[in-house]
């Protein structure tokens, strides 16, 4: 038994080391093109290795679209870009049934696939499309399938939606509905580059150099690493901490923080705590551990929940952001519960 446990431990260690090596390989290829934004790159890669979708929010010109394109260049996966506009229709995204003529001269309906039938889909400026078109993504993002004319069509695995949106331009945009926001694993807020980073960007983009990422990871390996992430151990007391972090965002709930009752209208869904746990497992592997720590959960707390918390009118009137509320909630939730969790 001891020999078997040692062998299993050695195997897990080898797989975890391979995970870190391949993760860093992809990150290094992205760094050939993208300057800085380490937290954003880590966030996108976390979504990739967990198997979730990412929403990147930031003002124009910060490299959101370039980041997703560069990620696609580093992976041996199919890639499509959809430019979302107010006149974009659902059929332009998922496809439609078209009349086709067979060799015998009969006319039949034939399904013409839309750009959603890819493995990495860049939904550029997603909040420019109407709610009707945005809703075309709901089934694809959750079930990895689309249904047209009563027939379900499966999407090729692995499947990711990487979306971008501009937070400052309101005219001609449509806020994403909560049901769609909840389907994104992370919401990543892209900030401005620093002085040194801007100097490097100018050196790369205003001279002859044109660096390009090389393919270093394929779909089969990626899905294998996604399964490895789920094998990372989550101790009951750490799991309970993750649960209480999510429950603390529910106003008037038994675990609600004072700031929650004051500023939050709706709290996180169960997807929020699922995201916390899976993203924390990635962090644990990157730190060379096979068990999730409290700190792992805290490091992924904001991108996991900032888009799953709906603030009330008072918060909006006072200019309070979801991040400000969540940071106060994080401070209010202790690592150890005052009462133990019930055991099923």
What are 76-110's pLDDT values in tens digits? 888 999 999 888 898 888 888 777 766 677 777 77
Instruction: Tell me which residue of 168, 93, 163 sits closest to 135, measured CA to CA.
Output: 93
Count Cβ atoms below 10 Å from residue 59 Cβ, excluding itself.
Answer: 13
Terminal C-alpha separation, the chain: 29
Mean pLDDT for 133-142 is 87
Count Cβ atoms below 10 Å from residue 4 Cβ, excluding itself.
Answer: 8
The answer to whether the CB of 223 falls within 8 A of the CB of 119 is no
Task: Determine the pLDDT at residue 167.
Answer: 77
Task: Grade residue 7 by pLDDT with cuts at 50, 70 and 90.
Answer: low
Task: Determine the pLDDT at residue 344.
Answer: 42
Task: Determine the pLDDT at residue 5.
Answer: 47
What is the residue extent of each domain of the chain?
Answer: 232-344
Cα separations in angstroms, 340 against 116, 276, 294: 45, 20, 17
Count Cβ atoms below 10 Å from residue 3 Cβ, excluding itself.
Answer: 7
Query: How do residues 154-212 score in pLDDT, each as one tens digit?
Result: 999 999 999 998 876 666 678 888 888 899 999 999 888 888 888 888 888 787 777 78
Q: H or E segment at 310?
A: strand 310-311
Task: Determine the pLDDT at residue 288.
Answer: 87
The residue to which tokens 């918060």 are assigned? 315
Global pTM reads 0.88
Task: Determine the pLDDT at residue 192.
Answer: 87
Task: Determine the pLDDT at residue 339.
Answer: 66
Task: Grade residue 151 by pLDDT with cuts at 50, 70 and 90.
Answer: confident
Mean pLDDT of the chain: 87
Mean pLDDT for 247-252 is 93
Mean pLDDT for 323-329 is 94
Task: Determine the pLDDT at residue 343.
Answer: 45
Higher pLDDT: 237 or 3? It is 237
Check: CATH 1.10.8.80 for 232-344? yes
Instruction: Tell me which residue of 46, 56, 68 sits closest to 275, measured CA to CA.
Output: 46
The answer to whether the CB of 163 falls within 8 A of the CB of 56 is yes
């Amino acid at each position: 038994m001891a020999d078997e446990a040692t062998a299993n431990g050695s195997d897990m260690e080898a797989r975890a080391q391979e995970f870190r090596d391949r993760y860093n390989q992809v990150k290094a290829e992205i760094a050939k093109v993208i300057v800085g934004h380490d937290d954003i790159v880590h966030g996108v890669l976390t979504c990739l290795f967990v198997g979730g979708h990412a929403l990147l929010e930031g003002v124009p010109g910060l490299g959101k679209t370039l980041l997703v394109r560069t990620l696609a260049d580093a992976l041996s996966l199919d890639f499509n870009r959809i430019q979302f506009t107010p006149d974009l229709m659902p059929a332009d995204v998922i496809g439609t049934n078209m009349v086709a003529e067979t060799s015998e001269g009969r006319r039949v309906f034939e399904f013409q696939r839309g750009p959603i039938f890819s493995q990495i889909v860049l939904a550029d400026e997603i909040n420019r499309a109407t709610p009707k078109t945005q809703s075309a993504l709901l089934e694809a993002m959750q079930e990895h399938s689309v249904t047209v004319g009563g027939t379900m069509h499966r999407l090729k695995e692995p499947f990711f939606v990487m979306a971008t949106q501009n937070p400052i331009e309101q005219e001609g945009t449509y806020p994403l509905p909560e049901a769609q926001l909840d389907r994104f694993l992370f919401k990543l807020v892209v900030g401005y580059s620093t002085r040194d980073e801007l100097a490097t960007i100018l050196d790369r983009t205003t001279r002859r150099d044109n660096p390009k990422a090389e393919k270093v990871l394929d779909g089969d390996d990626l899905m294998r690493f996604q399964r490895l992430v789920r094998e990372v151990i989550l101790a009951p007391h750490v799991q309970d901490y993750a649960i209480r972090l999510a429950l603390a965002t529910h106003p008037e709930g038994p675990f609600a923080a004072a700031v929650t009752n004051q500023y939050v209208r709706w709290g996180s869904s169960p997807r929020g705590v699922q995201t916390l746990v899976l993203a924390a497992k990635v962090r644990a592997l990157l730190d060379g551990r096979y068990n999730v720590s409290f700190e792992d959960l805290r490091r992924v707390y904001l991108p996991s929940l900032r888009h799953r918390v709906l603030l009330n009118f008072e918060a909006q009137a006072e200019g309070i952001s979801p991040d400000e509320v969540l940071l106060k909630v994080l401070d209010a939730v202790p690592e150890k519960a005052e009462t133990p969790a019930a055991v099923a």
